[in-house]
Chain A
Amino acid sequence: MTNYLKTLGYGFAIALFALLAYTAYTRFAGTASNAGVVGGPFTLIDQNGRTVTDKDFKGRWLIVYFGYTHCPDACPTALNNIGATLDQLGAKRSRVTPIFITIDPARDTAATLKSYVASFGPEFVGLTGSDAAITAAEQAYHVYAAKHPTTDGGYDMDHSSVLYVMDPDGRFVTNFADETDPATLAERLKSLIP
């Protein structure tokens, strides 16, 4: 009898673990069909209010970063690093477009993004969109984002903070931690861009 209960207990634990693992997997990886692939088609709105898709960026090297403008620490650090990286690219700078995709479309309108991204460099693109369009982009890039309520009644966002490098065909090449120093980033990009 004790053994039977034990087996039942283990069985339940394994089933619970499997359920949790599956939930985590689908949350992070999106649908199974794009698991392992980073990036893909998107339709979003740029900082000038124009609808843009991934096809509009074909032919350009991209540095893609997901964040939100109410983020005072990680996001400016990452965007500063991207800006400083561009400064070190020399002639290859003109081949690169840095893209900031908001994970907080409720507060980050096109107008909000326009002055925000311009602060980090002239070639920065800021993208927002409907909740559904932003969620699709997050899933395509395997980005985790969730609201965390604050005591003042507002919220912060918990989010993956990663720089993605995409090639001119829109294919994922590599990614970097948000705090990678610009010299390292620039060296790597210079060796990647022919």
Chain B
Amino acid sequence: MNYLTLSRRLALIGLCLLPTAGWAADAVQVSDAWTRATPGQATSSAVYLTIVSAQADAVVAATTPIAAASLHLHQMLNGIGQMRAVERVAITAATPFHFAPMGYHIMVTGLKAPLKPGDHFPLTLNFEKAGPVTVAVTVRPLRESTPMTPMSGMDAMPGMSNMDMPK
């Protein structure tokens, strides 16, 4: 085997790898990340977003440089609302999963400064398989922050996919 053949082989391997690498980067899409402007002196807020993952995966942690962050689920049980930390949020393959009001949210606590409409801050989600994905969270005005809210969780019915938040 001479040198030229080897380099050709390597180039071929490289060509095969490139699209694969591109696919891996797009394997998880996190979009429409937003939170509300903080009312009064509130130092916590809930971040909402939509996840589409090509493969079955799970969110296992969230971090942001501006505050402590954790995965939360809000549930109604017999008319009583309760918020609980969860360790893992499973994401079904190729199915939009919504973190949305009155369901799953990423709780940020101990904010050092109020969140003002139009602000942005980075938030990193850690996926079990895909690893870390960082998005910019948009701070929406308090009073216009929940225009049309998709149900939190995955789209159970196919017809519900058109409830995705507008860009």
Contacts and interface: CB of A to CB of B under 8 A. Distances in A.
- Give the size range of A's interface with the partner: 35 or more
Interface stretch (A11-19, A33-41, A132-140, A144-152): A144-152
A120 B68 CA distance: 25
Contacts of A152: 68, 109
Max chain B Cβ within 10 angstroms of own Cβ: one of A72, A151, A152 = A72
Contacts of B142: 76, 80, 119-120
Interface string B130-163: 0000000000001101100000000000000000
Interface of chain B, main secondary structure? strand
B82 A119 contact: no
Contacts of A158: 80-83
A79 B142 CA distance: 10
Max chain A Cβ within 10 angstroms of own Cβ: one of B81, B83, B146 = B81
B99 to A, nearest CB: 10
B22 interface: no
A116 B38 CA distance: 9
A179 interface: yes
Contacts of B37: 119
A116 B44 CA distance: 13
B62 interface: no
A155 to B, nearest CB: 11
Interface stretch (A1-9, A55-63, A159-167, A184-192): A159-167
Given A116-B40, A119-B39, A158-B81, A80 B143 contact: yes
Contacts of A73: 46, 72, 74, 83, 101-102, 105
Interface of chain A, main secondary structure? mixed
Interface residues of B, number: 31
Contacts of B80: 144, 158-161
B39 A148 contact: no
A160 B79 contact: yes
A152 B36 CA distance: 23
A72 B105 contact: yes
Interface string A71-96: 11110110110011000000000000
Contacts of A154: 109
Contact of B39 (A76, A159, A178): A76
A118 interface: yes
A51 interface: no
Contact of A69 (B42, B82, B105): B42
A113 B42 CA distance: 10
Contacts of B5: none
B40 A115 contact: yes
Given A74-B102, A77-B101, A84-B143, A120 B39 contact: yes
Interface in B28-55: 36-37, 39-46
B16 interface: no
Given A69-B42, A80-B143, A116-B41, A179 B102 contact: yes
Interface of B: 36-37, 39-46, 68, 72, 74, 76, 79-85, 101-102, 105, 107-109, 142-143, 145-146
